[in-house]
Amino acid sequence: MESALEYHTARALLDWQLEMGASEAILDAPLNRYDVPETRKKPTPVATATPEIVKAAKIDPVLVAKDMAATVRDLDGLRGALAAFEYCDLKRGARNLVLSDGNPAARVMIIGEAPGRDEDRAGKPFVGRAGQLLDKMLAAIDLSRTADLSAQSVYITNILPWRPPQNRDPKPDEIAMLMPFVQRHVEIVAPDVIVLMGNIACQGVLGTRGITRLRGHWQEAFGKPVIPMFHPAYLLRQATAKREAWADLLALKAKLAG
Ligand code: URA
């Protein structure tokens, strides 16, 4: 995927040169300008790909992400594309790329927020305390990330594949530049239903927050039914909200049975 990145950088540089008025390609061989007729003596533009030029080229990470995601054909390709995507600074502070866990053939795809410390270490989503609660919640409606049958299994990912420092909330531009990869992820896995865990997942997928209002109400995104639910990390802090979480799990179970 390195070549895809080079392509986008090269294209952005070319666009920038055109904007600056460059109209001639650099020649392969040196040109003796004393031999050139007067009418051809325009200076030939020369550009080197310095970081300043890359910055001045104003590369839009969302567009780069869209182009890269469009070339992805499978989960290995998606991992490769994210590994080659250099525009999200979170990557530099993370130990691992945390892509997914569970069964890619599952009917249910769960989208969380971002890896925490445990997930960053393990390279897998939802393995810490919130993840353990998530497993219990799923088991209550006979779903599991380790099941082989698509009807009994789930596939789990996050909006962000890299841990934000000190588990801070992801910034809007970080969410925006990773959404093309999330969308492609959904297209590849092609689940029947999607569960959005918490506000960040709702922000990324539905473009809105307000989990207390959104939870339990089916909506459509990526052409699929999606249901927002309280994040298990919130349930660890607010045990009283488990009542609503249980109602939402039953709504998920009913949807799968229907
Ligand atoms: N919280 C999330 O949203 N995702 C994880 O992977 C872990 C905790």
CA atoms within 13 A on the CB side of 143: 26
- The reply to whether ligand 1 has any atom less than 6 angstroms from the CB of 113 is yes
pLDDT of 47 > 60? The answer is: no
Question: What phi, psi does 193 have (nearest 5°)?
Answer: -140, 155
pLDDT band at 133 (very low <50, low <70, confident <90, very high): very high
Name the maximum alpha-carbon separation found in the chain.
85
Band of the pLDDT at 16, cuts 50, 70, 90?
low
* Ligand 1 nearest-atom number relative to CA 201: 3
**126 C-alpha to ligand 1 centroid (Å):** 5
Residue 162 has pLDDT above 90, yes or no: yes
Please tell me if the CB atom of residue 161 comes closer than 6 angstroms to any atom of ligand 1: no
Question: What is the structure's pLDDT at 248?
Answer: 98
Q: Answer yes or no: is the C-beta of 126 below 6 A from any ligand 1 atom.
A: yes
Helices (H) and strands (E) in the chain — how many of each?
12, 6
Closest by Cα among 192, 201, 115 to 154: 192
- Please state, in angstroms and rounded to a whole number, the distance separating the CA atoms of residues 124 and 158: 10
- Please name the residues in contact with 30: beta carbons below 8 A apart, sequence gap of 6 or more: none
Ligand 1 lined by 103 (C-beta under 6 Å)? no
Model confidence at 205: pLDDT above 60: yes
Q: Please state the three-class secondary structure of 163-202 as a single string.
A: CCHHHCCCCHHHHHHHHHHHHHHHHHHCCCEEEEEHHHHH
Beta-carbon contacts of residue 230 (< 8 Å; ≥ 6 apart): 197, 198, 211, 215, 238, 241, 244, 245, 248
The number of beta carbons lying within 10 Å of the beta carbon of residue 254 is 10
Say if residue 19's pLDDT is above 70: no
Q: Answer whether 158 contacts ligand 1 (Cβ < 6 A).
A: yes
Q: Per-residue confidence at 57, pLDDT binned at 50, 70, 90?
A: confident
* pLDDT for residue 58: 84
Q: What is the pLDDT of residue 71?
A: 97
* % of the chain beyond a pLDDT of 70: 79
The pLDDT of residue 68 is above 90: yes
pLDDT for 96 beyond 70: yes
20-27, long-range: CB < 8 A, 24+ apart: 20/45, 21/45, 22/47
Give the pTM: 0.81
Q: What span, in angstroms and rounded, lies between the C-alpha atoms of 19 and 209?
A: 39
Whole-number average pLDDT of the chain? 89
Task: Give the list of residues 6+ apart from residue 43 with CB closer than 8 angstroms, or none.
Answer: none
Whether the predicted pLDDT of 152 surpasses 70: yes
Does the structure show a pLDDT above 50 at 44?
A: no
For position 2, what pLDDT does the model report?
44
Question: Which residues partner with 219 through β-bridges?
Answer: 226
Ligand 1 neighbour 130 (Cβ under 6 A)? yes
Task: Determine the Cα–Cα distance for residues 60 and 46; give it in Å rounded to an integer.
Answer: 23
Query: How much is the pLDDT for 79?
Result: 98
3-state secondary structure of 46: coil
